[in-house]
Chain A
Amino acid sequence: MTELNLAANSENKDAVVSLLFQLADDDFLYSFRGSEWLGLAPHIEEDVASSSISQDSMGHAAMYYQLLEELGLGSADSLAHLRPAKERKNSILVERPNGEGYYMEVPKYDWAYAVVRNYFYTAAKKIKIESLKNSSYQPLAEVAVKVNIELYYHLLHWKTWFVQLLSSTDEAKQRMQAAIAQVMKDFGDVFSLGTDGKKIVELGLIEEERTLVQRWQEQMKAVFESLNLEIPEIPAVPEANGRNFEHTKDLETAIATLSEVYRIDTAASW
């Protein structure tokens, strides 16, 4: 594969930067929402497991922000904490709150929603990572190999919860079905590469959206069939596309909360 020339071609660099922000912001918000579950998961072993997954995922986000830092976009910490919602490229799915309430007061979080969101997101991430292992941007391809190894355990974990709850009581099944419907409404931009998509694919940074969506559907098919469930449809056109900076109010609240400590003293070493 020919080496991507980023220094000589600013369009190429813009495409790499765009994709890296999508990946970084996705994992960053995903792990933040996961971290809000700390101490609230259904049982203590789950608390250990899901916080471990959040920690790994935060590490993945940190690697992508690091690659952006190396491209001269600013320090990884400030990219993660200080960018306002209107500059973020994460999908809508990961910015949604865990449920009603606030974790410092009375959180009425929905575990079914957590399981479905985390499983579907992780399965989508796995498809993307497999493609990124062959990315024409070598530093990204190398990070993808690392991320992929850790993802193995995440996917196993969420798949286990998903299958168990859908094989459980009627109430569990109903809650899970409702969660599937809710998650799928937001799934329209998960595989989207946004307005920079054409260039991103042309450069061989990752494969095109349609291919990735097909792989996701094929992979989920076996699981859904084993549970006698229809494979849910991914909306053809997303209601809002996070890749193009379209977001909900919930993202602003999330950023304000997660960066509160960092903004107190941006020069401090935490």
Chain B
Amino acid sequence: MATDSLEKKVLGVLEEVHDPEINTVSIIDLGMVEEVNVQDYVVNIKILPTFLGCPALELIKENIKKAVISIDEVKEVNVEFINHPPWTSDRISEKGRMGLKAFGIAPPPRLMDSDGSWHVDCPFCGSTYVTMDNIFGPTACRSILYCKSCKNPFEAMKPISTLM
């Protein structure tokens, strides 16, 4: 029972560990946490990297350690990045999608056409009248688009799927 409740506490603090570049979304909501294992007050956490070259990964790892060790009962925290299963953008939760929108980033599209094209709506005004400016954006996981209705540039999280 004690282990169960400690695991809940760990998951609770992980809800407060955010993507360092998008502070409205937690790593839980991004679907990055694959496994939390608690044994004798030692916590082992397995995390999926979003993009392999993402410079925020080390920072996220440190933030996880800091957050979990702050729980009184926890004696030790180990955080490991694993590559299997691969992270995909459909791991982002509904709450995560809301958080992205709140930050001005369109959540990744759920569906892609057979030719690989995809569509997102403007996160500011909801218009569907948008154009792709650059598939690549300020970070590895984002693209830059432009809304022709409200005349705002905006970013979208790229769809990432093993079907690609």
Closest Cβ–Cβ distance, residue B103 to chain A (whole Å): 19
Cβ–Cβ < 8 Å partners of A63 in chain B: 52, 83
- Tell me if B137 and A52 are in contact (CB < 8 A): yes
Query: Most chain-A Cβ atoms within 10 A of its Cβ — which of B49, B52, B116, B162?
Result: B52
Segment of A80-88, A151-159, A176-184 in the binding face: A151-159
Judged by a CB distance under 8 angstroms, whether A148 is at the interface is yes
For residues 42 through 101 of chain B, which have their beta carbon under 8 Å from a beta carbon of chain A? 49, 51-55, 83-84, 86-88
Judged by a CB distance under 8 angstroms, whether A4 is at the interface is no
Cβ–Cβ < 8 Å partners of B83 in chain A: 63, 139, 142-143, 145-146
- Tell me if B84 and A56 are in contact (CB < 8 A): no
- Tell me if A145 and B84 are in contact (CB < 8 A): yes
For residues 55 through 87 of chain A, which have their beta carbon under 8 Å from a beta carbon of chain B? 55-60, 62-63
Judged by a CB distance under 8 angstroms, whether A150 is at the interface is yes
Q: Which of A45, A52, A55 contacts B133 (CB 8 A)?
A: A45
Judged by a CB distance under 8 angstroms, whether A48 is at the interface is yes
Judged by a CB distance under 8 angstroms, whether B127 is at the interface is no
Judged by a CB distance under 8 angstroms, whether B1 is at the interface is no
Total contacting residues, chain B, CB less than 8 A: 25
Cβ–Cβ < 8 Å partners of A53 in chain B: 136
For residues 102 through 118 of chain B, which have their beta carbon under 8 Å from a beta carbon of chain A? 116
CA distance in complex: A142, B86 (Å): 8
Q: How many inter-chain contacts with C-beta < 8 Å in the A-B complex? A: 69
Judged by a CB distance under 8 angstroms, whether B164 is at the interface is yes
- Tell me if B135 and A156 are in contact (CB < 8 A): yes
Query: Most chain-B Cβ atoms within 10 A of its Cβ — which of A48, A58, A142, A149?
Result: A149
CA distance in complex: A146, B135 (Å): 18
CA distance in complex: A147, B87 (Å): 11
- Tell me if A153 and B158 are in contact (CB < 8 A): yes
Q: Which of A56, A139, A152 contacts B164 (CB 8 A)?
A: A152
- Tell me if B86 and A145 are in contact (CB < 8 A): yes
Which 8 residue pairs across A and B have the least CB separation, nearest first? A59-B53, A59-B52, A152-B164, A49-B136, A52-B136, A142-B84, A142-B83, A55-B53
Taking A57-B53, A62-B52, A146-B83 as known contacts, 11 extra A-B pairs with beta carbons closer than 8 A to each other, sorted by chain A number, are: A45-B133, A49-B135, A52-B140, A53-B136, A59-B53, A60-B52, A142-B83, A143-B83, A149-B160, A149-B162, A156-B135
Interfacial residues, chain A to chain B (CB-CB below 8 A): 45, 48-49, 52-53, 55-60, 62-63, 139, 142-143, 145-150, 152-153, 156-157
Interfacial residues, chain B to chain A (CB-CB below 8 A): 49, 51-55, 83-84, 86-88, 116, 133-138, 140, 144, 158, 160-162, 164
A-B residue pairs in contact (CB < 8 Å), sample of 16: A49-B134, A49-B135, A55-B55, A55-B140, A59-B54, A59-B140, A60-B53, A143-B83, A145-B83, A146-B49, A149-B160, A149-B161, A150-B140, A152-B164, A153-B135, A153-B136
